[in-house]
Structure 1
C-alpha cells in the first residue's frame, strides 16, 4: 500500500487535533507541532472540514477541532477523504494463468481496509494499536 505525503500529513494533523483539543486549535500550532508546511496543511484541513471530520472557527480564538470523538474516527475515515475509494482489480487485467493474482490483490486490499477501519485516532494518541500485543507505538 502506498500512502501519499498528503495522507500522512492529514493523519498527523487529525492526531494532533485529538491530542490538543477539545477546543479550537490554530492551524499554525498543528503545522509547527507536526512539521507540516502551512499552505499544504490549509488545503488538507479544508478537505477534512468539507468531509465533516473536523470543524473550524474563524477569529482570534479560532482554529480546528474534531467533529467526532477520536474513538469514532478511524484511519480509514481520514484516508478515504484524502485518497478516495481504492481501485479494484479486474480479473480481465490478468489473463490466463495469472488471473488469480487479481484475487490476491483484492484479498490484500480487504485486509488493509479492515485493519485501517479498526484503528482509531484515539488508539494513535494513546499509543495503543489493536493487535499490537499491548506494546506502545514507538
Structure 2
C-alpha cells in the first residue's frame, strides 16, 4: 500500500484542525506554514475535505477551516477516502471486483486480507488519537517490533 502525498497532507491538515478544535477557524496559510505544505496544493485538499463533509470553511478576516465533527469521530481512514478514494485497490480496482484463476486464484483472498488489516488500523485510529499522541494499544503494539521500522 502506498500513501499518496495528497493523503499525507490531508491527514496532517486535519490533525492541525484537530489540535486547534477549540480555538476557532484556522487559516489555510497557517496550516500550510506549520506543515511545510504548498498553500495552493493545500487549498485543493481542504476543498476536498469540505466537499467530503469533514471540514467547514468560512471566508473573511475571521474565516478559515475547522472540523465538521469532533476529532474523536473522524478516522484517518475517513480523511484518506475523501481525498484518495478506496484505501486499498489493485490496479485501481477494489479487491472484491477482481477475479483470478489458476495459480493466482488464492491471490484474491490475500488482497482482501490486506484490505481488512489496513481498514482495521486506519478505521480504528481517530484524529483525536493521533493529535493527542495516544494511539490505540493494538496499533502502538505493532510499532514495538524493531522490524517494523526497517526497510527489508
TM-score (normalised: structure 1)? 0.90
Using structure 2 for the length normalisation, give the TM-score.
0.82
Q: Deviations over 1:25-82 (max 9, x none)?
A: 0111000011110000000000100111000111111100000000000001001101
SS at match of 1:111: helix
Q: Note the C-alpha offset of 1:91.
A: 5.2
Counterpart CA distance in 2 for 1:57 and 1:91 is 42
Post-superposition CA distance 1:97-123 (Å, at most 9, x none): 221011111111111012111100001
Root mean square deviation of aligned Cα: 1.5
Q: Which moved more, 1:21-30 or 1:10-19?
A: 21-30
What is the aligned residue count?
133
Structure 1 window deviating more from structure 2 (4-13 vs 105-114): it is 105-114
Runs of 4+ in 1 over 6 A off after TM superposition: none
Matched, 1:129 2:135: yes
CA contact (8 A) 1:18 1:66 kept: yes
Which consecutive unaligned segments of at least 5 residues does structure 1 have?
A: none
**Correspondence for 1:52:** 53
Please list every run of 5 or more consecutive structure 2 residues that lacks an aligned counterpart in the other structure: 144-152
